[in-house]
Amino acid sequence: DCDSVFDDFSSEPLAAASLGQVHTAYYKGEKVAIKVQRAGLKKLFDVDLKNLKKLAELLDKFDPKTDGADRDWVSIYEESERLLYLEIDYLNEAANAERFAKDFNDTPWVKVPNVIREVSTPRVLTMEFVESFKLTNLDEIDRLGLDKQLLAKRTADSFLRQIIETGYFHCDPHPGNLAVNKNGTLVFYDYGMMDELKPNVKSGFRKFCTALFAGGPTISNAALAQNAKMLVDGVEEAGVLARGADRLAVEKLARYFMRAFKDSQLGKKSGNIKQTIGTDLQTLTENNVFRFPSTFTFIFRSFASIDGIGKGLDPDYDIGKLAQPFVEKFTQVQKGYASPFEKNIDIFSKATGLNLKDVNTAVTTPRKIAYVEETLRAMEEGNLKIRVRSLENEKALERMALTQGRTEKLVLAGVLLNVAQFAGGRGFPVLGIA
């Protein structure tokens, strides 16, 4: 009986969703929010997920994957199944909330309601009641005089911290689960669907972000080319790049998109992708060299929610621009400095713009001369290896192999048909075979 545990338990729910509904009450004199699960969810999940698994198996067989991404639909299904069953275990949600609160315990503008364990069960979750409203309620934000640009930045920073720093993230931060209080503090709700990046994905994604944002928007082409190698290393480590993929083509693709990203930060338009890397892109697409871990499905979902909220608050919202200072700060913390002098040099470099074209040329020229000298020495010693690709010839060979395969199958079918006819006593020539 609720009345024996709680005082003033609300008969009408404060909020309702597909998996449960939330009531308010008082416990030991404090106002609390009580999340109650709907009956029969486990049986419903068993039936629905069984059908979804069959659909995932069919998608694995018939997905044409013309975009170059080698998706594993069964793995995506298995990850979704795991998270859905965890979502209806409210004690698991309680543990998720406590871990999320620990990740943001040094961030005063993020609030996670406290869990009250002694009155929580696998189907009932009791938490501290936190007064808040949706970030999409722009009229209330204006009435309270809150800074919408600051709120937009905080939503982006909270997302980036989850994905890049902790690797533990909220999979469903829609406006009902990500709110704000009157002081401008973000309030997260509903910790049933959380996910964590695997160590290799987390490390690879960090490497990817470091390479993408390093050097800022005005980075030189030479430095960007070096960063592109690091970016591809990160993609490979995260399991996104298939083994045996043409790294030269992937690095060329990386350089194009990195420069396009830098140009977008400066408000410039990038070059035509077909003219720049058209043939390489076609080859990579046809070979399905990109594979996305199932966790990425939920990262994209979370990003879409955060991006929608941010753009609703600030028309100029661009998470790519907001991520630049965040990633630079994170990289500095991860890098560490051998001495205060090294830190001051790094700060001085950023302040004085040492990455400008003329200074960069002066700094890198000795290294370029040394590289040319090493190449010439390798040529003299006969140790230089040159890799040449003829994509047109590769395509022609692929077409020839396909035609040959079809011809062989046709001849084999004719032979089998003749054998069958002779066996039936009705022999007559087919395809010239008597």
Active-site residue list: 172
**How far apart are alpha carbons 86 and 80 in whole angstroms?**
10
348 sits in which H/E element:
helix 340-352
73-87 and 41-62 are packed helices; what angle lies between their axes, rounded to 10 degrees? 170
HEC string of 374-410?
A: HHHHHHHHCCCCCCCCCHHHHHHHHHHHHHHHHHHHH
Paired tokens of 420: 């069958």
**How far apart are alpha carbons 183 and 188 in whole angstroms?**
15
Q: How, if at all, do strands 168-170 and 194-196 pair?
A: antiparallel
**How far apart are alpha carbons 367 and 245 in whole angstroms?**
30
**How far apart are alpha carbons 434 and 430 in whole angstroms?**
7
Which of 176, 159, 154, 180 shows the shortest CA–CA distance to 103?
159
Q: Which residue has the tokens 């809150």?
A: 146
One-letter amino acid of 73: W
Q: CB within 8 A of 290, min separation 6: which ones?
A: 68, 69, 70, 240, 241, 242, 284
Exposure string over 41-56, b if 16+ CB within 10 A, otherwise e: beeebeeebeebeeeb
Q: CB within 8 A of 266, min separation 6: which ones?
A: 217, 218
3-state DSSP assignment of residue 28 = coil
Which of 219, 226, 129, 125 shows the shortest CA–CA distance to 179?
129
Q: Which residue has the tokens 């966790």?
A: 295
- Is the separation of the CB atoms in 84 and 302 below 8 Å? no
- Is the separation of the CB atoms in 148 and 58 below 8 Å? no
Beta bridge partners of 127: 33, 115
**How far apart are alpha carbons 94 and 86 in whole angstroms?**
11
